[in-house]
Copies of this chain bind each other. A is one copy, B any other.
Amino acid sequence: MADVETRRSPAGQRVWETACELFYREGIRSAGVAEIAERSGVGKPSIYRNFESKDGLALAYVNAKAVPARDWLAAARAACPGDPRAQLRHVIGGIADQISEPGYRGCPLVNASVEFPDHEHPVRKAVVSLKAEYLDLLTELVAQLPVRDHRALGYMLQMLVEGASVTTQIYSADRSAASLKEAADRVIDSFLADSSTAGSSVPDSSLEER
């Protein structure tokens, strides 16, 4: 879990970089080990000397891809201490920027979970675990806001982020990025307005865990 991916061998390092790029660009299943080896300029055995299997490589890839997102949440907290609204704007804005970058092809974790529909597959289980952890962190951030149901708001924001991420691949990256920021603002404002008034036209979320 805490395994930071620092490959020892030079060939292993090249494999790691190539695999990360190829897994993201072409998908994990589409990228064959022969292709990874060729583009890395190494032989196939060099892959298996540094990684247990292709699944193991994919697992490391998925775990590695989750790190920047976690770091970005922590950075937002540090960037705007005491101002949860600005922290959220920081987070959402960063995601919108990432989405707008050329070559963005959706969330790598979501893509991986689509590529491995079997719920028992280690990659899939890792994605579920990592995403749950991310949602918890985001919800903690939201909890700083004076809203009644911060868990509902956190889930809604996460849903928006995933929606923006996936629509980028199908519609327009620019529209998704802008729409994400605007929608997040509107939803957050709506929750804040709910909590600052007595009655609410929008019913309280009756969601419970699990």
Chain A interface (Cβ < 8 Å from any Cβ of B)? 25-27, 29-30, 105-106, 110-111, 113-115, 117-118, 127-128, 131-132, 135, 152, 155-156, 158-164, 166-167, 169-172, 174-176, 178-180, 182-183, 185-187, 189-191, 201-203, 205-207, 210
Which residues on B sit within 8 Å (CB–CB) of A201? 189
Asked whether, in the complex, the Cβ of B189 is within 8 Å of the Cβ of A202, the reply is yes
Asked whether, in the complex, the Cβ of A158 is within 8 Å of the Cβ of B169, the reply is no
Asked whether, in the complex, the Cβ of A164 is within 8 Å of the Cβ of B159, the reply is yes
Cα of A185 to Cα of B17 in the assembled complex, Å? 44
Q: How many protomers of this protein does the assembly include?
A: 2
Q: Which residue of B lies closest to A204 (CB)?
A: B182
The A interface, classified by DSSP as helix, strand, loop or mixed, is helix
Asked whether, in the complex, the Cβ of B111 is within 8 Å of the Cβ of A114, the reply is yes
- Decide: A190 near B186, CB < 8 A? Known: A114-B169, A159-B167: yes
Asked whether, in the complex, the Cβ of B179 is within 8 Å of the Cβ of A155, the reply is yes
Cα of A189 to Cα of B128 in the assembled complex, Å? 32
Asked whether, in the complex, the Cβ of B169 is within 8 Å of the Cβ of A113, the reply is yes
Which residues on B sit within 8 Å (CB–CB) of A117? 25-27, 30, 105
- What are 5 sample pairs from A and B whose C-beta atoms fall under 8 A apart? A111-B114, A114-B114, A178-B206, A186-B190, A187-B187
